[in-house]
Structure 1
């Protein structure tokens, strides 16, 4: 039980920081569009990565020392482009479709969610590196319990964020509100991208 709780708290502490993936889930939650499949995609992706981390997949980065830099630069490029898209949307201020509750199609939404998950170098550091490292203090079934706890944290977080976002819906009833949100998201994306470039 202690291993499971430790895994849950470890996973939750790593995922709470506002990042690109979280901001995207929040935005879709506000739109109330494709929330269930998007949350499932993010949580299941985390589950795969956490399992890999607990099983010792972190050794891959030791075998391929150049991999973290390639991942960092690729992730930075993606974040720069998405940040520019959000800033462009804020500048145009045309939120008719958003205010009517319309979103990108399911396929496009899931593709974007997958990109935010799998092109983000931080997710590998958190799941393969940090979660994997903490899991080494447990053996056998206790390590499995730790991994299950960390995976549960991801499911709880993403579904709480996706469905809890509707509590903010009354505030997001004007183009001005969405302009502020998109500007903030662009700032987060570019800040994360700058950090990735500097660390590469």
Structure 2
């Protein structure tokens, strides 16, 4: 049981750590919302989406879906377009924290955008299915549940921590200089990921 928990924790942390559109969005909302509580909708939405994806991956539903070749192609092509577009959005992001706070997203818009960056990002879906779903095959019964719970717990801790970190950075860096650098690095990573995903089409 302990082995499954540790495995799930380390694996999930390794997958969620790299810069990506979901992480950057949660971080940015923590930074630009007038109060931390105003960033909770995006934190909770992103965490629930990850909980759903991990649950589907571990219990085999999503693996069955990817048996359809055309669906996998669709996800890859959609992922490339999505990452290119979101990279452009990140690259062109506004520089001023104060300006963004005066024009911060409403709760509804936060939730809708968080849903899109969480569930319409095929790269994240394929990673969850291919890595977490495959790794869960080593476990059964209570150990599989413990493995899934550990992965899910990492998501909730990580997104909450990102929101808090974003809030701290936003209060310290009113000019938004740190966020500008983070967004541009994230954009480059997303474009690089789009190229990598595109290269996988060759092997299909």
- TM interval, short-chain normalised: 0.7 to 0.9
Residues 134 and 88 (structure 1 numbering): CA distance in 2 closer, same or farther, change over 3 Å?
A: closer
Distance across 2 between alignment mates of 1:30 and 1:81: 22
Gaps spanning 5+ residues in structure 2: where? none
Q: Deviations over 1:145-166 (max 9, x none)?
A: 1111111111111111111222
If the length of structure 1 is used for normalisation, what is the TM-score? 0.86
**What is the aligned partner in structure 1 of residue 65 from structure 2?**
60
Gaps spanning 5+ residues in structure 1: where? none
Give the superposition deviation at 1:95: 6.3
Q: Does 2:52 correspond to 1:43?
A: no
If the length of structure 2 is used for normalisation, what is the TM-score? 0.84
**What is the aligned partner in structure 2 of residue 144 from structure 1?**
145
Residues 176 and 160 (structure 1 numbering): CA distance in 2 closer, same or farther, change over 3 Å?
A: closer
Residues 94 and 29 (structure 1 numbering): CA distance in 2 closer, same or farther, change over 3 Å?
A: closer
Count residues with an aligned counterpart. 196
Distance across 1 between alignment mates of 2:190 and 2:126: 18
Aligned-residue RMSD, C-alpha: 2.2
Distance across 1 between alignment mates of 2:161 and 2:50: 15
Q: For the Cα contact (< 8 Å) 1:26–1:165, is it kept in 2?
A: yes
Q: For the Cα contact (< 8 Å) 2:83–2:194, is it kept in 1?
A: yes
Give the superposition deviation at 1:178: 4.4
Distance across 1 between alignment mates of 2:112 and 2:25: 12
1:77 aligned residue (78, 81, 96): 81
Q: Runs of at least 4 residues of structure 1 off by over 6 A?
A: none
Q: For the Cα contact (< 8 Å) 1:10–1:131, is it kept in 2?
A: yes
